[in-house]
Amino acid sequence: MEPLPSKDKESQQNKPTPEDAGALVSMTSLDHERKAFVQLSPSGFRIRHPPPPNELHTYITPDSHLFQTSHMGIPLIKEPSYHLVVEGLVPRPFSVTLEQLKSLPATTITAFHECFGSPLKPPLENCLRIGNVEWTGVKLSYLLAHAGLAPSNINSEHFIWSEGLDRGTFAGVEADRYQKDLPMSKAMKSEVIVAYALNGEPLERERGGPVRLVVPGWFGTNSVKWLCKLSVRNSRAPGPYTTMFYNVVEPDSQRTRPVWEVNVNSMIVQPRSGEVIVGPSSLVWGWAWADDGVKNVHVMAEGDQDWREAVVDDRVDHGWQKFEIKLEMPVGRQTVVAKATSFGGAMQPLEGWRNHAHHVHVSRTE
């Protein structure tokens, strides 16, 4: 096996070099990547909710404050046996071990990470399962280039199927693997990575470690945990998490679409709901996010006749953006509401959909 490239020397390059070939080996048997699975421990659906918005006050969300969701259970994985396979409609299918993956040129990206919510009920609740973290890993486009996908032979109608090592039953539906897909146009974006670290630390098993897919700007359901296989295919993936779960009907057009891009959204961090405001005004601030970035945020207190435009920070990578404004507060109980607009012109609704505007209830003394 030839020497692996230096991370420091090549971390900003997108094109694989001949020296990298030693990190990538031919596959030896069908589904050999699944031999790293030991058992589910624990099995079944699990969720850890985030703290209330007023506790999400740091730009980078610590792992302890980031929501966790698993549909079928959390796999116990033999890391020495772990392989990530890249195959399908590619000239050079290969597999890579965890150690070899970590030796490839690395990239770190800041990105918000949002849960869509339950796929079993209408998407009407703004559950605010959201955080902002730093992921480290290898660009998906880099791995696909190793498999022989040059710009000249990429088919825009193809999809990347991604598979996790989890398996079992969710909502009465059995699946032998968690499977999702990405259109090629998204998969080749530089922000999409195969990640092995969160906020500078190795991915914990509960977080999808040792390796997961990360798709910034898209809902967390697309960022497959316990990733073991990536396949280039000419159709959508057939698993239940694309065909049965995570499809929505748009309220305006009645068109069914996959749960892919994140809706423009925002939440108020300060003041917290139930807070007593002393004095004639209060600083209102929070976080706003969208797949294509947030252009503006407007805030209003009950009784005010006009929306006030907040100051919005520029976006870093795919991170969330801070907004803030000082509002005059009448005496008595008040409701403060914020709504965001994306650069693409999408507006956060006041009600009726999963990203409806966030309200906090406060009161002001004399």
Say how far apart CA 16 and CA 179 lie, in whole Å.
Answer: 27
Residue 303: its pLDDT value, please? 67
Domain ranges of the chain: 7-258, 265-365
Q: What is the pLDDT along the chain (366 residues), one digit of tens a residue?
A: 222 333 433 333 344 443 443 444 444 456 789 999 999 999 999 999 999 999 999 999 999 999 999 999 999 999 999 999 999 999 999 999 999 999 999 999 999 999 999 999 999 999 999 999 999 999 999 999 999 998 888 898 999 999 999 999 999 999 999 999 999 999 999 999 999 999 999 999 999 999 999 999 999 999 999 999 999 999 999 999 999 999 998 777 778 899 999 999 999 999 999 999 888 889 999 999 999 999 999 999 876 778 999 999 999 999 999 999 999 888 889 899 999 999 999 999 999 899 999 999 999 887
Distance of alpha carbon 32 from alpha carbon 96, whole angstroms: 12
pLDDT at 38: 96
Please, which residues have CB within 8 angstroms of residue 95's CB and are 6 or more apart in sequence?
A: 24, 25, 26, 27, 28, 32, 33, 83, 84, 85, 86
CA angle 231–235–241, rounded 5-degree value: 75
Q: Contact at 8 Å (CB) between 325 and 309?
A: yes
Q: Buried b vs exposed e over 299-330: b needs ≥16 C-beta within 10 Å?
A: bbbeeeeeeeebebeebeebbbbbbbbebebe
Could you tell me the sign of the dihedral formed by the alpha carbons of 174, 178, 184, 185, in that order? Answer: positive
- Check whether domain 7-258 has CATH 3.40.309.10, yes or no: no
| Of residues 62, 71, 60, the one with CA closest to residue 112 | 60
272-291 pLDDT, tens digit per residue, is 999 998 888 899 999 999 99
The dihedral through the CA atoms of 119, 217, 71, 167 has a sign that is positive
Q: Is the CB of residue 69 less than 8 Å from the CB of residue 120?
A: no
Residue 263: its pLDDT value, please? 93
pLDDT at res. 170:
97
**What gap in Å lies between CA 17 and CA 154, rounded to an integer?**
19
Per the structure block, which two tokens stand in for 194?
């195969």
| pLDDT of the residue at 302 | 77
Q: CATH: 1.10.10.10, 3.90.1150.10, 2.60.40.650, 3.40.50.2300. Which one for 265-365?
A: 2.60.40.650
